[in-house]
Amino acid sequence: MLSPLKIGILVLLSLAVPVQLFAQPVAENGVLDLRDIDLPDVGPLQVKGEWAFYWEKLIDPINPVEEPGIYVDVPSAWSQLQDEIPGISSKGYGTYRLRILVGDGVQSMAVRFTEVFSASGYYINGRNIGFNGLPGTNKYQSVFGYRPEIYVFPVKDTVLDLVVHVSNFEHRSGGIRGSFQLGTPMQVMSQSAERQYKDFFLLGAFLIIGIYFMGLYLMRSELYKLFFALICLMMAFRVLILSETDLFDGDWVTGISLLRLEYLSFDLLVPLFVLMIRFVFPNDFPKTLFRIIIWICSVMVFAVIISPVSLFTNLLTYYMYFVIFTAGVILYVIIIAWNRGRSFAKGFAIGIGIVTIGAVNDMLFISDVIETGFISHYTMFIYLIIYAMIFSGKTNQDVMRNERLSREIKSVNDNLEDLVMQRTEELNMKSEQLMKHQEELRKSNLDLQREVAIRNKFFTIMGHDIRGPVGYSKQMLELLLSEPYAEKEKEEMLKLLANSSRAILNLVENMIFWGRSQTGELRRIATIFTLDKVVQEAIELFNLPLKDKQIKVSTEVPVGAKVFADKEQVKLILRNLIGNAIKFTPTKGSVMIAVIAGEDRANTIITVRDTGVGMQPEKVASLFTDVATISTSGTKNEKGSGFGLILCRELTELNGGTITAESEAGKGSIFRVVLPAANE
């Protein structure tokens, strides 16, 4: 089965204008030479090239001037002639002249001009062959008219002097902007009839689809079907306006009114599209963007209805950019709907892409960048075919869903008793699950209360331990300031202040790191670094207490021993372990720091050994748990928070390592930290 995209491509190819394999002649220096061309066999010709142009002159077609004028490319708008004619604007008048050389045997010819803004008159060898509006030298003499016209004239000479008077005082773009076709009357009219056939085919298709979906909306009031039907009917109206039918010929509708209807049919399509997508994907369209788009569309429609031609035709260029933006918004909404699993979002995305191609082409054509002509009604036809298939499928799905629901309701009615029993069992099962969840919640609450109690205890200990050093430091400072002391006494007092400050700093740093670990904000930044310098820096922080207690420190750290961990966190681990060793080692004791490689060399082991007071085995087992946050005074009454070892355990585990302890009362303690080695 063909997909909507393949069907759209086949339709577009069937509607495309046949490609001309014959190399089209080009006018040069105001002369088009057709003497070597068999016009009845190869026509009609799509003529391009250089015409003689006379700005702000309506030359006499019977006695034309002999001056060559300025050669300009046709088709092109006057706004593109700034280099050739400085100061030229879209408002004004001028004459185009082309000399056509034909061979013998051509008795009659026809020409077709598509877009000449905004009034024009045509002459062959001084004889008028038709008017489209009425050109003049000011806006009061000029009558607006721009629809494509075919002019037939007899050929009595081999040299044809084609003169075209053009004036524009209304439209944003003046000059011969559209294509110029030349051929025999039968050729030009046959091609025109072919275009009308395609236009009426599109007209009928749009009408049928629009009426069909209007009927669906009347049967089931789904607003997206209403807006889709209105889009189809608006496209049918637009095709009718742009077609070459004689319906709009005559005095009952003016050229300006027809131009307003053409612009209005385009401007109304945008809000209809947005409204349709809004009701297809109501939960995916941002409300603010929806309101902004509808307001801008309303302003543009209002401008087309009441403003002069010069204003709303100039606004169209900006409106086309807005149309591209709106297409992007719609595509964004469809992609969001696609990601959320909405039905048919993929088909909508394909359709919007095809419409965007047509809109970009028309925008570039209106802006005089390309000369392809309008193709949006063809891309819209493909789009509507795809959407009609999508909505038909959506309707079928709705019908199938309703049928399934009806079957389910019937099944429920037939098996109501069994269903009640089944639902009762499910409710009992959910009740049991709820009771289980309540029990889990009760346990979680108990754990939470326990953690809160531990934290309260921690802050109590912290407040107690930090109050002592701070008060002691305050007293020492007051003594130093109040009375004179000998140098030796001052030195002793300053040492005591330094020890107290170090204790406070260590408490604060531990508290900061522990707080980060509890809130999940503690992260490691692992690097490769050597341990010898880090160990030495940690020892130097304790020079005063080591000297005061006459403790001997020895190290066995191989030069170049490396680990892969967070350097600052390893420093904090060493500071806490060395500080604890000094705290619980009596005067003239010893502390030993050693670094060795693990058995498989994948790890590095840091050992801190002291000859301190040691501890009982049952206390060793609870050193690294939260319950162990008990402040214990050192051998010289040193204070501590009691949670430094807990922080050491958390930082070690964060860096992929382990920490253990061994101790014996009266013989000292050994702490081992195992960290990942950094092998080159």
The span from the CA of 661 to the CA of 625, in Å, is 13
Name the residue among 583, 587, 598, 605 with its Cα closest to residue 669.
583
Tell me the helices (H) and strands (E) count for the chain, helix number first.
Answer: 16, 20
Q: What's the CATH code of the domain at 137?
A: 2.60.120.260
Query: What six digits make up the tokens of 86?
Result: 């400085």
Within this chain, do residues 163 and 227 fall inside the same structural domain, yes or no?
Answer: no
Judge if 42 and 145 occupy the same domain.
Answer: yes
pLDDT number for residue 20: 46
Tell me the C-alpha to C-alpha distance, in Å, between residue 241 and each of 45, 147, 245: 25, 10, 8
Within-domain flag for 501: yes
Residue 592 domain flag: yes
Q: Same structural domain for residues 79 and 114?
A: yes
Q: Is residue 233 part of a domain?
A: yes
205 and 170 inside one domain: no
- What is the pTM (predicted TM-score) of this model? 0.53
- Whichever domain contains 487, its CATH number is 3.30.565.10
Choose from 55-59, 341-345, 649-653 the range with maximum mean pLDDT: 55-59
The per-residue pLDDT for 634 is 60
Average pLDDT over residues 275-299: 91
Claim to verify: residue 215 and residue 321 sit in the same structural domain:
yes
Does residue 558 belong to any structural domain of this protein?
Answer: yes
The string of pLDDT tens digits covering residues 7-38 is 444 444 444 444 444 578 899 999 999 988 88
- The answer to whether residue 427 is domain-embedded is no
Cβ atoms of 141 and 96 within 8 Å: the answer is: no
Last residue of a domain, one of 144, 165, 183: 183
Q: How many domains does the chain have?
A: 3
pLDDT in tens, 238-253: 888 888 776 766 665 7
- Give the residue-averaged pLDDT of 464-481: 63
Least confident of 16-20, 95-99, 483-487, 641-645: 16-20
The winner for highest mean pLDDT among 256-265, 381-390, 443-452, 503-512 is: 256-265
Average pLDDT (553-576) is: 88
Under the banding of pLDDT at 50, 70 and 90, the label for residue 542 is confident
Residue 351 falls inside a structural domain: yes
- Tens-digit pLDDT profile for residues 87-129: 898 899 999 999 999 988 888 999 999 889 889 999 999 999 9
Residues 71 and 214 in one domain: no
Q: What confidence score (pLDDT) does residue 314 get?
A: 86
Same-domain check for residues 251 and 137: no
Q: Containing domain of residue 587, as a range? A: 456-676
Q: For residues 312-348, b (16+ Cβ closer than 10 Å) or e, as one string?
A: bbebbeebbeebeebbebbbebbbbbbeeebebbbbb
The rounded mean pLDDT for the chain is: 81
End residue of a domain, out of 139, 155, 183: 183
163 and 47 assigned to the same domain: yes
pLDDT digits (tens, 9 = 90+) for 388-444: 676 666 555 666 666 677 777 777 666 766 777 777 888 888 888 888 888 888 888
Using the 3D structure, point to which of 356, 380, 399 is the last residue of a domain: 399
Both 313 and 338 in one domain: the answer is: yes
Is 602 domain-assigned?
yes
Question: How many whole angstroms separate alpha carbon 538 and alpha carbon 505?
Answer: 14
pLDDT recorded at residue 12:
45
Residue predicted with more confidence, 181 or 343 = 181
Task: Look at residue 513 and tell me if it is in a domain.
Answer: yes
- Same-domain pairing of 356 and 470: no
202 shares a domain with 332: yes
pLDDT for residue 368 is more than 90: no
Q: Would you place residue 455 in the very low, low, confident or very high pLDDT band (cuts 50, 70, 90)?
A: low
pLDDT at 334 over 50: yes
202 lies in the same domain as 111: no
